[in-house]
Structure 1
Amino acid sequence: MTIKSISRSQIYVLDQDQALDFYVGKLGMEVNTDADLGFMRWLTVNVPGDPEREILLERPGPPALDPATAEQVRELLTKGALGGHLFMTTDDAYKTYEELVAKGVDIYDEPTEQSYGIDFGIRDPFGNKIRIGQMYPRG
């Protein structure tokens, strides 16, 4: 067995249209799939030019969660106690940071030089944390 790549990641969002506004409108991602499956809306986004790696923006509910569990997940998201993590890269951390500040994105950690590069932290409207880094060459 050989695993070749990660094709999808998933995070919970409370409102998929609001998630689109954030991930596409503010972060500059593009919609990969927006399909009504009847029992759920399959909504994925990706970095432009990289359609093989998608982020599923999933509302808590069926088929993955029963109604009671979905309600618990929504409550935890609302409290900021349950959120996913995404890690993204950029060629210029300071410029990306300034652009996101201008768009009103929630910044929880300003750009900081680390041993691996320069990175900073933002939150989406649902409490999911995103680290954006300008990585130094390895080696």
Structure 2
Amino acid sequence: MDITIHSSFLPHNDHDTAIAFYRDVLGFEVRNDVGFNGMHWITVGPPGQNTSIVLYPPEATPGLTDDERKAITEMMAKGTFGSLLLATKDLDGTFERLQATDAEVVQEPTEQPYGVRDCAFRDPAGNMIRIQELR
């Protein structure tokens, strides 16, 4: 089989801050920005790669109850709903660049007991962004 990861989804609740974070802070390309009824779906991804992240408004998910939407919003704010794992060859340099922005630092570069060195941030919606060092 020839299967690749094309897109992954992360919830977002603010169009402008999402673009500012993923484009201006992480350096991703904005590949698509679709609006409908006041909501925006934004597709972003690293330049030169075919993998994308679709940032979507959680209130657009069909079939959710108001209680479920509230729970999702609360989990997003705590960083327990969505997450993204990125990788870089220069973890310290990447951490310094991110730390110099408004990104919320969760963990400085750390050698983990399970064999990776990584750091963690939250995006503006509260999603956990972990960045591992490629070795």
Measure, in 2, the Cα distance between the counterparts of 1:105 and 1:41: 22
Q: Distance in 1 between matches of 2:27 and 2:3?
A: 27
Residue in 2 aligned with 1:77?
76
Q: Which residue in 2 is equivalent to 1:98?
A: 96
Q: CA RMSD in A?
A: 2.2
Aligned position for 1:19: 18
- TM-aligned CA deviation for residue 117 of structure 1: 4.0
Question: Gaps (5+ residues) in structure 1?
Answer: none
Secondary structure of the 1:19 match is helix
Q: Percent identity?
A: 33
Give the whole-Å Cα distance in 2 for the aligned partners of 1:102 and 1:63: 34
CA distance in 2 between partners of 1:26 and 1:88 (Å): 14
Q: Number of matched residues?
A: 133
**What is the TM-score when the length of structure 1 is the normalising length?**
0.82
1:38 deviates by 5.7
Pairing 1:1-139 to 2, within 5 Å after superposition:
2=1, 4-36=3-35, 41-50=40-49, 52-66=50-64, 68=66, 69-78=68-77, 80=78, 82-114=80-112, 116-136=115-135
TM, length-normalised to structure 2 = 0.84
The Cα shift of 1:72 comes to: 3.6
- 2:116 and 2:79 map into 1 onto residues whose CA distance is 28
For residues 47-99 of structure 1, what are the alpha-carbon distances to aligned partners after superposition, in whole Å with 9 as ceiling and x for unaligned?
A: 1111x211110111234344623344224323x16431101111200011111
